[in-house]
Amino acid sequence: MFSGSSVAIITPFRNGSVDEEAFGELIEYQIRNRTRGIVPCGSTGESATLSYREHERVIELAVRRARGRVPVIAGTGSNSTAEAISLTRHARQAGADAALVIVPYYNKPTQRGLYGHFSAVARSVPIPMILYNIPSRTGVNLEPETLVRLATRHKNIVGVKESSGDLEQAGEIVRSLRGRRDFAVISGDDSLTLPILSVGGKGVISVLANIAPRDVAGLCSSFRKKDFARALRLHQKALPLLKTLFAETNPAPIKAAMEMLGFCSSEVRPPLCGLESGHRRSLARELRSYGLRRRG
């Protein structure tokens, strides 16, 4: 279930509200273009600024629109253990196939605190869980030793989205959990998808897939089929565009790109804001260079 390319799907807004029609169309676009999983309400989905009801509604919409054709991996993490349990429980009740649970942010818990947090969620909700390690946003790194303890103790912890940028750490997790064939190390950084696959990772939860789903899926499938030359070409093709997609805080650039390509509005929730004009020009240039054009 948790291999290949999954999309860290944006939450489209219009006039301050979730654009439900556009969201449904984005899911259809992803499924048509070989994406193997939909991940709503992650960092790219602006979960931090969704209300509780919006968060629940977006997950419900994703499950309803996907209709079992691809897994829905619902973002349900929080810096509050009780809140993470509540959100994860709702995702299971809504029909999500798995939960993506971020390392608690701002609190900066110890490794013992992280172990207790994830153990509590795993015990409370019998749903497959992918832990989400992104120290640049949370301020804390989920150490491999802690992750291995969690995955050994809780069989419903089935993967980790590794966004630490540390390839050695990703490889250590793969090596330490090689006895659990159902456990997936998943890249959380598009520029490291190919390197993480090369050390035993199984896929990516991708920002780029919002606009180039076939290429991200193609990179993963090419690697799986041992067509390493094609995988490398797709990796190298993406690098200049990825640089512009992360020139400002995600998801402002990817939303700007999606507006330029005719998918939806570029609207983001404050305190995020639209791209600076120089970055918009660079992004438009890289989209053209990549070969992406406005739909219709």
287 neighbors 243 (Cβ within 8 angstroms): no
- Does residue 274 belong to any structural domain of this protein? no
- The total of other beta-carbon atoms located within 10 Å of residue 35's CB is 24
Q: Specify if 85 maps to a domain.
A: yes
Residues whose CB falls within 8 Å of the CB of residue 89, separated by 6 or more in sequence, listed in order: 124, 125
Identify whether the C-beta of residue 11 lies closer than 8 Å to the C-beta of residue 41: yes
What is the strand order of the sheet 129-133 is part of?
A: 37-39, 4-8, 203-206, 184-187, 157-162, 129-133, 98-102, 73-75
Mean predicted confidence (pLDDT) in 186-200: 98
pLDDT of 223 reads: 98
For position 145, what pLDDT does the model report?
98
Strand blocks (E) in 4-147: 4-8, 13-14, 17-18, 37-39, 73-75, 98-102, 129-133
The residue with tokens 């949370």 is: 138
Residue whose pair of structure tokens reads 């509005």 in the numeric block: 265
Residues near 290 by beta carbon (within 8 Å), at least 6 away in sequence: 212, 237, 238, 240, 241
Q: Supply the pLDDT for residue 2.
A: 87
Closest residue by Cα to residue 131 from 122, 123, 139: 122
Residue 78 is assigned to a structural domain of this protein: yes
Across residues 152-176, what is the average pLDDT?
Answer: 97
Which segments within 103-156 are labelled E, that is strand?
Answer: 129-133
Task: Please report whether residue 103 resides in a domain.
Answer: yes
Q: Which domain holds residue 164?
A: 4-225
Q: What is the pLDDT of residue 292?
A: 97
Whichever domain contains 17, its CATH number is: 3.20.20.70
Predicted confidence at residue 204, as pLDDT, reads 98
Number of domains in the chain: 1
Residue 15 lies in a domain: yes
Q: What is the pLDDT of residues 76-125, one digit of tens each?
A: 999 999 999 999 999 999 999 999 999 999 999 999 999 999 999 999 99
pLDDT value at position 295? 87
pLDDT at 1 over 90: no
34 φ/ψ angles, rounded to the nearest 5 degrees = 80, 10
**What percent of the chain stands above pLDDT 90?**
98
CA-derived radius of gyration, the chain: 18
CB atoms within 10 A of CB 67: 11
Catalytic residues: 132, 161
Residue 282 falls inside a structural domain: no
Model confidence at 14: pLDDT above 80: yes
Q: Is 265 inside any structural domain? A: no
The H or E element spanning position 49 is none
> What's the pLDDT at 71?
98
pLDDT at 30 (0 to 100):
98
Residue where the block lists tokens 């999309």: 7
For residue range 147-163, list pLDDT tens digits in order: 999 999 999 999 999 99
Three-state DSSP class for 131? Answer: strand
Q: What value does the mean pLDDT of the chain take?
A: 97
Mean pLDDT of the region 244-255: 98
pLDDT tens digits for range 226-240: 999 999 999 999 999
Does residue 92 form part of some domain?
yes
pLDDT digits (tens, 9 = 90+) for 196-235: 999 999 999 999 999 999 999 999 999 999 999 999 999 9
Reported as type and span, the H/E element at residue 278 is helix 277-290
Q: What is the pTM of this model?
A: 0.97
Distance of CA 268 to the CA centre of its chain: 17
